[in-house]
Amino acid sequence: MSTIKEKHNLFEEKNTNAELSGGQVRIDKQHAAGRKTARERVELLLDPGTFVELDKFVTHRTTDFDMDKTKFLGDGVVSGYGKIDGRLMYVFAQDFTVFGGSLSRANADKIIKVMDLAMKMGAPVIGLNDSGGARIQEGVESLAGYADIFYRNVMSSGVIPQISAILGPCAGGAVYSPAITDFIMMVKENSYMFVTGPDVIKTVTHEEVTQEELGGAMTHNSKSGVAHLTADDDVQAMMMIRELMSFLPSNNMEDPPLKLSTDNINREDKKLNDLIPADPNKPYDMKDLILSVIDDKHFFEIMPYYAQNIIIGFARMGGRPIGIVANQPAYLAGVLDINASTKAARFVRFCDAFNIPLVTLEDVPGFLPGTAQEFGGIIKHGAKLLYAFAEASVPKITLITRKAYGGAYDVMSSKHIGADINYAYPTAEIAVMGPAGAVNIIHRAKLGDREFIAEAVEDYKNNFASPYKAAQMGYIDEIIYPKDTRKKIIQALEMTQNKSKSNPAKKHGNIPL
Ligand code: HXC
């Protein structure tokens, strides 16, 4: 019979073994690739000393392919719970040093365990992905494991925040689970996402493409719109996830956390009075307005490289987290196109699901015309944004800085689709379309008469390209000086903080997907 000391020694030996994951050689390989190990990532992510690991001694149960001869304690995923800024978080980190972080049945069960705990306790799940997908040796058992995870991702959607980081080469199921989660972070030049890799593509379509071009961080952050955030390395990725969490509540029944700020809520910014150029065709940077009005210039932008004609992100005003949706006149004149619509629509729905008030800053010449957009389905994609704003029952504050033309006026959180407070600057132009376009249609027969047309454009500008018609109708609640923007938005956020609005009971709506 072994002594207590021997039992403790065995326990220590197993712990050391588990912490060595796939062995020092593979750990060194991971480091040489500029990546941290799963445990190092978890330590960086969570408050020091708060991580509690579960299922450290789980191993896979496969005997096919002689797999029973190769077992590693933990089986390729480190999972458990800990804290970020003192708040409970659940975490799983795939361990690439063990069978490439691939998903076995046992490994899936570990992930499922933390997902189920997170739902019961109402706390976020952060998945650190670094995995070759389904463990090939386990066949359908592994596929079943993935489906069990996908199912929980869907059931958790809108109940607890789910954040994914992609920190290595991720294929197959290792990309579909993140795709269902709320935000995807990728590390530049060191993380990849694809359903099928370059080799399979070459065989099937004869296309030659590198991993980086196919599924690198910038591909998914600027081209495909699959990912939302980028970091330079693992350390920055973990810091950014901590920062993101600071804006989010732990679940859909909580309000997002307040953070005291010394930034004066009545602070004026006289420079804003000159931000909007006199010439309506001249661009300006909407980020200047955002940074001026939010607390401490602290803007956490989401998808900064994708559809830059619209800006989305988190900030605080008067200490309260808000979601900002803003047209960007400095990029494609701030036009709404397919990518901008889908980018903003998903963000609006996230904010609504998690009780984060929406502040909309509007300067939009309309929807982008053209066959590419029409054939691509701008009608249904633009409708997503309209649907999302209309459905959102969180406080909605809108400010029209300049153009609010056509359908885009309706879509961008107008009074008619439920905004609570609608502001406009004196420079706002709220009309069916811009003056030149309008006159071209109304006075088509007189287009040859240049003098008449110039006068008609001027007339239209004076009568329609202003906020006063809308203000007359009560569609704009207040016209404000730009310098007062911060104070006015905070006033509206305070006024709406106890908003209680529910949509009609239904199983779910049918957003045009
Ligand atoms: C078992 C795997 C594995 C997998 C990698 N490994 N992927 N083992 N199942 N899916 C193992 C390798 O054999 C190797 O073991 C170690 O992990 C490291 O892999 P390397 O290939 O040496 O690394 P690297 O060159 O960096 O390439 C990484 C990779 C590549 C791009 C991820 O390994 C790869 O293409 N893997 C297969 C990807 C895939 O097709 N997965 C199935 C997807 S289907 P040793 O012992 O040599 O260290 C799927 C279905 C889900 O997921 C359903 C979706 C809806």
Examine residue 508 and state whether it is found in any structural domain, yes or no. Answer: no
> Do 218 and 275 belong together in one domain?
no
Task: Give the Å distance between the CA of 109 and the centre of ligand 1.
Answer: 19
Q: Which residue minimizes the CA distance to atom 13 of ligand 1?
A: 99
The residues near 104 (Cβ < 8 Å, ≥ 6 apart) are 60, 62, 75, 76, 135, 138, 141, 142, 145
Annotation marks residue 408 as catalytic: yes
CA distance 486 to 264: 9
CA quadruple 151, 154, 157, 162: dihedral sign: positive
Burial of 67 from C-beta contacts in 10 A (0-12 / 13-18 / 19+): middle
Please give the Cα distance from 100 to 142 (Å, whole number).
14
- Let me know whether 112 and 21 are in one domain: yes
Q: What would the pLDDT profile of 232-245 be if each residue is shown by its tens digit?
A: 999 999 999 999 99
Of these residues, 122, 319, 407, 437, which one is catalytic? 407
Q: Is 178 in the pocket of ligand 1 (CB under 6 A)?
A: no
Rounded to the nearest angstrom, the distance between the alpha carbon of 193 and the centre of ligand 1 is: 12
Q: How far is the CA of 25 from the centre of ligand 1 (A)?
A: 18
Question: Cβ of 214: how many Cβ atoms within 10 Å?
Answer: 17
Residue 197: CB within 6 Å of ligand 1?
yes
405 located within any domain? yes
Q: Is residue 510 part of a domain?
A: no
- The string of pLDDT tens digits covering residues 143-188 is 999 999 999 999 999 999 999 999 999 988 899 999 999 999 999 9
Q: Is 261 helix (H, G, I), strand (E, B) or coil?
A: coil
User: Does residue 86 carry a catalytic annotation?
Assistant: no
Share of the chain above pLDDT 70, in %: 100
Please, which pLDDT band fits residue 323 given cuts at 50, 70 and 90? very high
**What is the residue with the minimal CA distance to atom 20 of ligand 1?**
100
Number of domains in the chain: 3
Phi, psi (rounded to 5 degrees) for 437: -60, -40
Pocket probe mutation, ligand 1, options 94, 136, 166, max atoms within 8 Å of Cβ = 136
Output phi, psi for 297, to 5 deg.
Answer: 55, 25
Q: Do 309 and 414 share a domain, yes or no?
A: yes
- Confirm whether 471 is domain-assigned: yes
- Let me know whether 206 and 290 are in one domain: no
* Ligand 1 mean position, distance from CA 221 (Å): 23
Same domain, 278 and 375: yes
Mutate to test the pocket of ligand 1, among 62, 102, 111 (most ligand atoms within 8 A of CB): 102
Q: Is 173 part of the annotated catalytic residue set?
A: yes
Asked whether residue 504 is domain-assigned, the answer is no
**Domain stop point among 181, 210, 245:** 245
- Contact between 193 and 173 (Cβ < 8 Å): no
In a domain, 140, yes or no: yes
Alpha helices (H) in 67-104, listed in sequence order? none
CATH of the domain at 114: 3.90.226.10
Specify whether the backbone of 35 is left (phi greater than 0), alpha (psi in -120 to 50) or beta: beta
Compute the distance between CA of residue 463 and CA of residue 480 in angstroms, rounded to an integer. Answer: 19
Quick check: CB of 382 below 6 Å from ligand 1? no
Distance 116 CA to ligand 1 centre (A): 27
In this structure, are residues 408 and 344 in contact, taking their beta carbons and an 8 Å threshold? no
Q: Which helix (H) or strand (E) holds 410?
A: helix 406-411
Joined together, the tokens standing for residue 410 give 């309706």
Residues 185 and 323 grouped into a single domain: no
Q: Are residues 15 and 101 in the same domain?
A: yes
Ligand 1 nearest-atom number relative to CA 174: 52
CA 166 to centroid of ligand 1, rounded, Å = 15
CA of 104 to the centre of ligand 1 (A): 12
Asked if residue 213 belongs to a domain, the reply is: yes
Answer yes or no: is 377 within a domain: yes
Set 174, 333, 340, 408: catalytic member: 408
Does ligand 1 have an atom closer than 6 angstroms to the CB of 74? no
Tell which one of 24, 69, 99 to mutate to probe ligand 1, the residue whose CB is within 8 A of the most ligand atoms.
99
Tell me if residue 52 falls in helix, strand or coil: strand
Tens of pLDDT, residue by residue over 109-155, are: 999 999 999 999 999 999 999 999 999 999 999 999 999 999 999 99
Structure tokens at 230: 């980028």
Give the residue numbers spanning the domain of 446.
435-465
**Which pLDDT band holds residue 361 (cuts at 50, 70, 90)?**
very high
Same domain, 28 and 53: yes
pLDDT per position as a tens digit, 438-468: 888 888 888 888 888 889 888 888 878 899 9
Q: Is the pLDDT of residue 69 over 90?
A: no
Identify which of 285, 323, 327, 324 has the alpha carbon closest to the alpha carbon of residue 310: 327
DSSP-assigned letter for residue 150? H
Provide the token pair at 143: 């596929």
Kindly state whether residues 187 and 328 are assigned to the same domain. Answer: no
Write 20-24 long-range contacts (CB < 8 A, 24+): 21/72, 21/74, 21/76, 21/95, 21/97, 21/98, 22/72, 22/76, 22/95, 22/96, 22/97, 22/98, 22/99, 23/97
My answer on whether 54 and 18 are in the same domain is: yes
Number of Cβ within 10 Å of residue 68's Cβ equals 12
- pTM of model > 0.85: yes
* pLDDT (tens digit per residue) in 75-112: 999 999 999 999 999 999 999 999 999 999 999 999 99
Shortest-distance atom of ligand 1 to CA 134? 52
Report the alpha-carbon distance of residue 467 to residue 138 in Å, rounded.
64
Q: Which of 439, 375, 427, 378 is nearest to 407 (CA)?
A: 378
Q: What is the pLDDT of residue 164?
A: 98
Q: How many whole angstroms separate alpha carbon 351 and alpha carbon 363?
A: 21
Annotated active-site residue in 22, 132, 173, 216: 173
439 and 424, same domain (yes or no): no
Q: Which two tokens stand for residue 227?
A: 């990912």
- Does residue 132 line the site of ligand 1, with CB under 6 A? yes
Is the beta carbon of 460 within 6 A of some atom in ligand 1? Answer: no
Task: Return the ligand 1 atom nearest residue 101 CA.
Answer: 17
Residue minimizing CA distance to atom 15 of ligand 1: 99
Distances (CA, A) of 220 to 99, 177, 230, 494: 25, 15, 10, 37
Q: Residue 84: enclosing H or E segment and its boundaries?
A: strand 77-84
Contact 361, 328 (CB under 8 A): no
* 155 and 210 share one domain: yes
